[in-house]
Every structure is written in structure tokens, then in C-alpha cells.
Amino acid sequence: MDRMLVVVFDNETKAYEGRKALLQLDGEGSISVYAYAVLAKHADGTASVKQGDDSGPIGTLLGTSFGSLIGLLGGPVGLAIGASAGLGVGAAADLNNARIGEDFIDDVTKVLLPNRVAVIAEIEEDWTTPVDTRMEAIGGSVFRRALSDVKHTIHEENVAAMKADLAQMKAEHAKAHADRKAKLQEKINRLDSKIQAQLQKAKDGREAAERQAQAKVRVLEAKAAVAKSKAS
């Protein structure tokens, strides 16, 4: 099952131990790590990404759910974190794009306090014991959440409702007097802009999901190539 994983530690030393343990579990085949980063919360409330997977996922998944989670957990400065790593501002603050619930963010931020450090990762795991055992031994607090399916139903329903309103206003506009026509036209223009924005948001969501799927395939292919070279 694909999951978002956040493990909060008291300091950087433990966090890097946690990162190492996570990658060891990946090497052992207990889990698959698609992307990871180490996020530090500073005493003044700011946050920074201390370390990420520069060879692939940190650069290729930052426009999707992983990057959105980093931005959300980074708090007000999450946008700056995302921008410095190539993450779009919209993605950094988009809870829907993160594909996890707001309660998950709330649970993590209650523990990810100033001077604490978190290992954030997007992983695939069949059971939770390997990660929990390793992380708890280091002193980490583990949070995980299965990624929700990308759904466009809400966007489609919103667009359908707005189109119905638009049709009604256009019908009224055709019959209205001159003074009323101008006001209706303003409303029609605003509503049409909202419809286009909803359509674009749905398109962006589909494209983000496609990019993420492609990036995961590349990660798995790279791992298979390494395994093959070691076996030969």
C-alpha cells in the first residue's frame, strides 16, 4: 500500500539515523521508498529541508503529493521551501494534492514542534512492523496515512452546478433591459472565470497523478537495474 510516512525525532542526529534505517529497509526489500526528505523545525518557527533524495524523487515528485506534504508541514515558510526545490506555490499549499486528510497534518504538527526534526517519505509497505520497530528504537514518533485515490468528482459537480447557473444568467441576459444586461454580464464573466479555474485545477490534478506514477516507475526501474548489475 502506498503511504505517506512522517517520523518525528528530537534532534537531527536521530533523524539521520531514522533516514538511514528507512533506506536500509528499502535495501532489504521490506518497503519501497519513492521519495524522502529531512525537515527541521527551528526555534523561531521557521522550517528547512535539511536533506533529500537529490538523485531522483526529491526533484521529480515535488509537484505532487510528496512535495505538497513538505509544504504543508513546513507551515508558513513551506512555500519558500517548495520554491527553492522547484515546487510550485500552488502545490505547496494544496491539501487535496497531498492526498491526505487535514487531521493527519494536525496530528503531525502537534508533535513536530520547534527544534524537532522529521523524516518525511512516500513509501510502499505491506505491513507496518518493520518501519515501526526501527523508528521507535531510535526514539521516533511514527505517523502514516494511506494515499487517497485521486478523485475529480468534486470538481465535476462544481463545474456542472456553475454551468447551470451560467446558462440561467445567459437566458436572463437575453431578456434583460440595458441597465440590467451590464450587471448580468459582469456576473457571467466572473462565473465563467471560476468555471475555467475549476477545469484547470482538475487538469492539474490529473497531470500531477500521471507525473507521480511515471516517477515511481522510474524509481522501481532504477532499483531493478542496480539489483541486476549486482547479481551479474
- Total domains in the chain come to 2
Residues 130 and 53 in one domain: yes
C-alpha cell, 223:
532499483
34 close to 215: Cβ distance less than 8 angstroms: yes
Which domain-ending residue is among 148, 179, 210?
Answer: 148
Q: What is the Rg, in whole angstroms, of the alpha carbon atoms belonging to the chain?
A: 22
Quote the domain boundaries for residue 12.
2-148
Residues 91 and 134 in one domain: yes
Residues 50 and 144 in one domain: yes
pLDDT tens-place values along the chain, 232 residues long: 788 899 999 999 999 999 999 999 998 989 999 888 899 998 887 888 876 554 444 444 445 678 778 888 886 544 344 444 444 333 344 566 667 777 788 889 999 999 999 999 988 888 888 999 999 999 999 998 887 654 555 556 667 777 877 888 888 888 888 877 887 888 888 888 888 887 887 777 777 777 777 777 787 788 788 878 877 7
Q: Enter the pTM of the model.
A: 0.66
Which domain-ending residue is among 92, 124, 148?
Answer: 148
C-alpha cell, 41:
523545525
d(CA 110, CA 112): 6
| Closest C-alpha among 158, 147, 141 to residue 209 | 147
Instruction: For 108-120, give the DSSP string.
Output: HHHHS-TT-EEEE
